[in-house]
């Protein structure tokens, strides 16, 4: 019995009117067939030029289909046309960025050491090393980015750039969008002279579990919740042949506001924070979820500014009904903690306007935040709930009396994607001193450290790192930026291999013009 997959409008909580099911959940046999079909595409993907064509072609086709894709994504996610238009542009940019990465070839990490019969302690053979694709990559799409972290997103783009076929497990929040995007990628593959099954799409929870266990799956990328990601990580590790599992799971993204920063910029920081934690209805993985603000006047003014700005934040519709329920329950449980105050109470939206349309009465949620004293967080207990991510437009302000109280809270934080410091002007100019110590503390907690900014917004560039100590990510790698390609490769070295049999990347004379390291010197 095929289980139908429906496209649900979160503004109404109902399947989209007039349409039948989008697809069916994949059976174990269909998962197996999908992985085998993708695996058969591996040899064709050895052609780097074809990979670059595929990525550029996919970007162009995505732009050509922008109208239909954005309409479907908005109907399935309620993220709105402006945000989704930006996300599509980002996704196309990312695909083209990885085409550039493929073309340049630095990711191959070519190292050549010619033989040295005089080497000490023993003669050295001819050794030439580069990186090859791991094989079929399983990609688990995110709820909150139906494009940039889903079917045509960074995991897929970087895996294809590496030369790996991709089997995507669609997120149930946007199956129709996923189908449209998979169609784009498959057409782009064929246009590039590659098999359509270079990218295969699957639906269904169990299909996702079967996928990570499939013997021919060589690695996985995941963006989602801690429980879901950990379950798949565990399944990947428990395989007879374990595979790398690059999961982005959850992050509090702590922000520390120093006393000087609060004294100088309370208003600006308070309103900036309101903008960041409510952006996209608080559904970014980099949402600042815990803000350490000083006790005293500066901190009070920051809280006042935050309250004013957060009250003005438009209500919004969350991605699905389960998230809405989790947000309302989770926020209420935090508000109910003894001694915690809620200057702006999070909760359900109350009128039809909240939903951004006439049909959505009651589906929207309103942003809110709580304030707690740092002393409540220094020991394990009920307040630990405040150290867990609450997905949606909610944040926690922790008031600290002094450096010791601040340190005690930082000591208790889990790993994060980002950590931010807001510093006073003099602190920011000091070489060494307490601000430098603070940045060192934050570096230990996160994969990206910001000063005087907000963590939402993740630039796609070479120097980006989107990852961090567990549970931020399950590996040391990034899922955004050029180095994300490293996840899908493994090195191989050729010893004393005749020139004619060497891959062209490793031949003398550098016939492909690659960046290489030869006998210790960069070419």
Residue in the block written with tokens 């430098």: 436
Identify the CA nearest to 79 among candidates 451, 355, 305, 289: 355
Q: What is the DSSP code string of 269-319?
A: HHHHHHHHHHGGGG--TT---EEEEESSHHHHHHHHHHHHHHHHSPPEE-S
Q: Which of residues 155-214 bind a second copy (CB under 8 A)?
A: none
Give per-residue burial for 173-210: e unless 16+ CB within 10 Å, then b.
Answer: bbbbbbbbbbbbbbbbbeebebbbbbbbbbbbeebbeb
Asked if 416 and 446 count as a contact pair (C-beta separation under 8 A), the reply is yes
Output the CA–CA distances (angstroms, integers) from residue 234 to 21, 136, 149, 184, 244, in the order listed.
32, 19, 22, 32, 11
Given the complex with a second copy, which of 29 and 431 has the nearer CB atom? 431
Q: Which of residues 439-458 bind a second copy (CB under 8 A)?
A: 439, 443, 446-453, 457
Among 215, 296, 381, 462, binds a second copy (CB under 8 A): 462
Examine residue 345 and tell whether it contacts a second copy (CB under 8 A). no
- Which residue in the list 76, 259, 264, 285 is annotated as catalytic? 285
Find the shortest distance in angstroms from Cβ 99 to a second copy.
Answer: 15
Find the shortest distance in angstroms from Cβ 502 to a second copy.
Answer: 9
d(CA 483, CA 505): 20
Residue 136, helix vs strand vs coil = strand
Given the complex with a second copy, which of 17 and 521 has the nearer CB atom? 521
Find the shortest distance in angstroms from Cβ 494 to a second copy.
Answer: 5
Find the shortest distance in angstroms from Cβ 91 to a second copy.
Answer: 9
Among 129, 335, 340, 378, binds a second copy (CB under 8 A): 129
Given the complex with a second copy, which of 59 and 310 has the nearer CB atom? 59
Q: Which of residues 130-149 bind a second copy (CB under 8 A)?
A: 132, 134
Examine residue 99 and tell whether it contacts a second copy (CB under 8 A). no
Given the complex with a second copy, which of 297 and 430 has the nearer CB atom? 430
In the structure encoding, which two tokens stand for residue 21, read together? Answer: 């099911």
Cβ neighbours of residue 48 under 8 Å, at least 6 residues apart? 102, 103, 105, 163
Identify the CA nearest to 457 among candidates 201, 177, 148, 192: 148
d(CA 220, CA 516): 28
Among 27, 378, 476, 510, binds a second copy (CB under 8 A): 476
d(CA 435, CA 264): 15
In the structure encoding, which two tokens stand for residue 190, read together? Answer: 């064929």
Given the complex with a second copy, which of 228 and 347 has the nearer CB atom? 228
Examine residue 475 and tell whether it contacts a second copy (CB under 8 A). yes
Given the complex with a second copy, which of 307 and 473 has the nearer CB atom? 473
Among 435, 441, 505, 514, binds a second copy (CB under 8 A): 435
Find the shortest distance in angstroms from Cβ 233 to a second copy.
Answer: 7
Q: Which of residues 291-320 bind a second copy (CB under 8 A)?
A: none
Among 297, 325, 379, 430, binds a second copy (CB under 8 A): 430
Site string for a second copy, 381-420 (x = CB under 8 A): ----------------------------------x-----
Residue 501, helix vs strand vs coil = helix
Among 3, 127, 328, 361, binds a second copy (CB under 8 A): 127
Find the shortest distance in angstroms from Cβ 315 to a second copy.
Answer: 25
Q: Which of residues 48-87 bind a second copy (CB under 8 A)?
A: 86
Examine residue 226 and tell whether it contacts a second copy (CB under 8 A). no
d(CA 504, CA 70): 42
Site string for a second copy, 484-503 (x = CB under 8 A): -----xxxxxxxxxx-xx--
Examine residue 429 and tell whether it contacts a second copy (CB under 8 A). yes
Examine residue 521 and tell whether it contacts a second copy (CB under 8 A). no
Residue in the block written with tokens 């783009």: 157
Find the shortest distance in angstroms from Cβ 79 to a second copy.
Answer: 16
β-strands 23-24, 4-5: how paired? antiparallel
In the structure encoding, which two tokens stand for residue 505, read together? Answer: 């990347």
Find the shortest distance in angstroms from Cβ 519 to a second copy.
Answer: 9
Residue 485, helix vs strand vs coil = helix
Q: Which stretch binds a second copy (CB under 8 A): 76-84, 124-132, 200-208, 269-277?
A: 124-132
- Which residue in the list 25, 87, 179, 248 is annotated as catalytic? 248
Among 198, 301, 478, 479, binds a second copy (CB under 8 A): 478
d(CA 213, CA 260): 52
Identify the CA nearest to 314 among candidates 360, 382, 370: 360
Examine residue 246 and tell whether it contacts a second copy (CB under 8 A). no
Q: Look at the chain and count its residues.
A: 523
Q: Is 63 a catalytic residue?
A: no
Enzyme catalytic residues: 248, 285
């Amino acid at each position: 019995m095929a289980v139908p997959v429906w496209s649900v409008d979160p503004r109404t909580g109902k399947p989209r009117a007039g349409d039948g099911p989008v697809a069916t959940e994949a059976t174990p046999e269909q998962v197996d067939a999908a992985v085998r079909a993708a695996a058969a595409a591996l040899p064709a993907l050895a052609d780097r030029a074809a990979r670059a064509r595929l990525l550029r072609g996919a970007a162009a086709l995505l732009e050509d289909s922008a109208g239909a894709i954005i309409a479907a994504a908005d109907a399935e996610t309620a993220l709105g046309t402006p945000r989704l238009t930006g996300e599509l542009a980002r996704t196309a940019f990312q695909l083209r960025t990885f085409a550039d990465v493929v073309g340049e070839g630095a990711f191959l990490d070519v190292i050549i050491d010619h033989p040295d019969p005089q080497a000490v302690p023993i003669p050295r053979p001819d050794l030439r090393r580069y990186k090859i694709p791991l094989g079929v990559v399983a990609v688990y799409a995110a709820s909150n980015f139906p494009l940039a972290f889903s079917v045509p997103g960074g995991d897929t783009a970087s895996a294809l750039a590496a030369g790996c076929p991709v089997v995507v497990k669609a997120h149930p929040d946007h199956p129709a969008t996923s189908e449209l995007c998979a169609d784009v990628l498959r057409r782009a593959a064929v246009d590039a002279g590659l098999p359509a099954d270079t990218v295969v799409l699957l639906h269904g929870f169990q299909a996702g579990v079967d996928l990570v266990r499939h013997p021919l799956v060589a690695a996985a990328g995941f963006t989602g919740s801690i429980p879901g990601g950990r379950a798949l990580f565990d399944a990947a590790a428990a395989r007879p042949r374990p595979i790398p599992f690059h999961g982005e799971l959850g992050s509090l993204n702590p922000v520390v506001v120093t006393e000087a920063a609060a004294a100088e910029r309370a208003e600006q920081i308070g309103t900036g924070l309101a903008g960041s934690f409510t952006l996209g209805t608080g559904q970014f993985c980099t949402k600042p979820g815990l803000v350490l603000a000083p006790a005293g006047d500066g901190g009070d003014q920051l809280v006042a500014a935050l309250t004013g700005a957060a009250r003005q934040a438009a209500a919004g519709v969350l991605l699905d009904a389960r998230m809405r329920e989790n947000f309302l329950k989770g926020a209420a449980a935090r508000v109910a903690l003894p001694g915690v105050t809620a200057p702006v109470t999070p909760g359900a939206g109350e009128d039809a306007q909240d939903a951004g349309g006439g049909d959505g009465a009651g589906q929207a949620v309103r942003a809110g935040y709580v304030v707690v004293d740092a002393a409540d967080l220094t020991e394990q207990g009920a307040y630990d709930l405040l150290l867990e991510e609450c997905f949606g437009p909610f944040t926690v302000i922790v008031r600290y009396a002094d450096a010791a109280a601040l340190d005690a809270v930082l000591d208790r934080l889990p790993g994060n994607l980002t950590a931010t410091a807001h510093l006073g002007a003099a602190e920011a100019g000091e070489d060494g001193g307490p601000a430098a110590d603070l940045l060192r503390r934050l570096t230990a907690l996160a994969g990206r450290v910001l000063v005087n900014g907000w963590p939402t917004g993740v630039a796609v560039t070479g120097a980006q790192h989107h990852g961090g100590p567990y549970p931020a990510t399950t590996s040391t790698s990034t899922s955004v930026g050029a180095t994300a390609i490293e996840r899908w490769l493994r090195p191989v070295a050729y010893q004393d291999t005749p020139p004619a049999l060497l891959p062209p990347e490793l031949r003398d004379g550098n016939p492909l013009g690659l960046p290489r390291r030869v006998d210790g010197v960069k070419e």
